[in-house]
Amino acid sequence: MANEAVIVDLLGDRGNVMDYTVADAAGIEKGALLMLQDPRTASGGNITTGNAVAGIAATEKVASDGQTKLGLYTNGIFDLTISAGAGVTLGAYVALSGANLVRAATATEVEGGKVLGKALETGSASEVIQVRVNL
């Protein structure tokens, strides 16, 4: 895949990695942005506007390797890519916007706790910006 998150600084206890259930058949790249599904399951497939955020894959997960747990970073500063046709302003909350992409969060997403973090710089479409992730 492309546009995986790049670590700038891991905060807390080395990024406060949390384990989530993942599908054995899933192949997940290190740095992939993953959405949260019920019950406490992380997925990178079919991410759309409004998905809740689980975290950022801390390691690679090979498809059909027998593993059904994956650690996700939940606390740090990461370089993330803004989706096409979007712009993000310094200090704005950001949300998932497709595979490994972010955009400015809507008021409904902020109120519903579906944000990934806060932009630490302003950026335009397809630009990489630093985001303070704190899930």
Residue pLDDT, tens place only, 51-70: 999 999 999 999 999 999 99
Query: Structure tokens of 131?
Result: 């985001």
Spell out the domain ranges in the chain: 6-75, 76-134
How far apart (Å, rounded) are the C-alpha atoms in residues 109 and 98? 15
Confidence (pTM): 0.95
Please report the pLDDT score of residue 86 as a whole number. 85
Residue 45: closest CA among 84, 4, 110, 100: 100
Query: Structure tokens of 81?
Result: 């890519």
